[in-house]
Amino acid sequence: MANPYDPQAPAKPDYFGGRNSVLSSARERLRKAIVQDQSGGLLVYGHRGVGKTSLLHKIIDIANEEFPGGISFCRRLSRTISNEELYVMLLEELQAQIHERQNLIEKLRKKGEDISKVKALSIEIDLTRPQLNNSQYQLWKKAVKHIHNAEFILVALDDADYLSSEAIGELKTIVENVSQTPVLLVTSGGIQFEKRLVDEYSPIARIFSGASYNLGRFTLDETKEVLNKPLVSQKTSWEDSAIEQIQKLTFGYPYLVQCLASASYLDNASITKGQVIQSVEKAVDIGKSWLDHEIPTASDKDVMYFLQLIKLDKDMFRSSEISSLGVPSTYIGRLVKLGILKQISRGRYRLEKSPMVAIYEGLKRRLTNDSTKHP
């Protein structure tokens, strides 16, 4: 079996694990669209590497597999998108989906297969012909109004941070526009995207009310699911202690889980805790482009203190414990500012960055020795 863990690509829907509350919310919105003709929005946001793209692909897969009466598509943004460009993009995707459905029906018909369960989609108006005096918004409105046989339209926008202020303002219009076909909008953005909506566009934020999720780290159970799903019916397996070691070293950051799982993978074998520990340096090499942005302003001394912290093999500290490592009490604030530590209460701190960040920086700077190697 080829190594099923690939940190450089979104997780395949069949391999997707965790995020059950978000997926339940997506299913609920899909059911309301079909039963109550209700449009709605769902927002997921978080730091890079938490699996936003994988989650959107999984939601599209659920829509296609469990609710096949609709039209579902995902578009990832990579540059600033104006409001006009947003509607052009949506119209392109809508036409592509209709064309794809028509091709599927034709292929099934030629093979003599049953096509009764595949809905033919069509739009009464020809969107390929110039529409005089119509803006792109008006064309989108016409398309949604005149589409046939679609129970809903699910639009997933990945990396919506690239939407211009005007385009963000159109999100509310897309969802709330009165139509016979409900529109579901699933949007992902960085950790600041939700704050941007609330602070600057509170009316738009209301369309995500009750369905806004800050994606964080995996729990141990989620990590187990993510690691075990690709191995169903395979001879490869993970020992529980190996999974716990991955959770400890990655802190459950989804991208790092994939890096360490990929580095530790053995075909037709039981993967042990020892194998995981031996694979850490390979894993940080796989994830170096991501790890390199975690503490970019840290000094060698910062990294040395970070390495000392992870030697304690815990994630909660009292200030006295930190000081006992030789970290000056006045320097603890520096580690907080870097995001390595977070103050929980007076004299109590939590380790925020994964031990793999310290290991990577230690190796890159050649600071790692017998006294500072990872646990």
Domains, the chain, with CATH or none: 19-214 (3.40.50.300), 220-291 (1.10.8), 300-364 (1.10.10)
Element (H, E) at 76: strand 71-76
Q: Can you tell me whether residue 299 is helix, strand or coil?
A: coil
Q: Which long-range contacts (CB under 8 A, 24 or more apart) does 245-250 make?
A: 245/273, 245/276, 245/277, 246/276, 247/218, 247/220, 247/223, 248/313, 248/355, 248/375, 249/276, 249/280, 249/354, 249/355, 249/356, 249/374, 250/223, 250/354, 250/356
How high is the pLDDT of residue 82? 95
Element (H, E) at 357: helix 355-364
Q: Are strands 183-189 and 212-214 parallel, antiparallel or unpaired?
A: unpaired
Counted residue by residue, the chain has a size of 375
State the 10-residue block means of pLDDT for the chain, 375 residues long. 91 93 96 93 93 96 92 94 94 88 81 73 64 77 84 95 92 83 94 84 83 93 96 93 96 96 96 97 96 95 94 91 89 94 94 95 83 49
Residue type, 61: D
Closest CA to 172 of 187, 158, 162, 161: 187
**In the beta sheet, which residues pair with residue 186?**
42, 156
**In the beta sheet, which residues pair with residue 76?**
158
* Extended beta strands in 105-170, E state: 122-123, 147-148, 153-158
Cα–Cα distance measured from residue 200 to residue 226, given in angstroms and rounded to the nearest whole number: 36
* Extended beta strands in 86-243, E state: 122-123, 147-148, 153-158, 183-189, 212-214, 237-238
Structure tokens at 218: 């995996």
How high is the pLDDT of residue 195? 84
Backbone φ and ψ for 44, nearest 5 degrees, come out as: -125, 135
How high is the pLDDT of residue 236? 95
How high is the pLDDT of residue 294? 95
For 197-217, b/e burial (b = at least 16 CB within 10 A) is beeeeeebbebbeebbbebeb
H-assigned helices in 1-81: 20-36, 52-66
Element (H, E) at 41: strand 40-45
Ramachandran region of residue 218, left (φ > 0), alpha (ψ -120 to 50) or beta? beta
The separation between CA 203 and the C-alpha centre of its own chain, rounded to angstroms, equals 25
Cα 256 to Cα 6, 266, 289: the distances in Å are: 11, 18, 12
Closest CA to 280 of 363, 218, 178, 183: 363
Residue type, 163: L
The model carries a pTM of 0.88
Closest CA to 305 of 320, 324, 325: 325
How high is the pLDDT of residue 230? 94
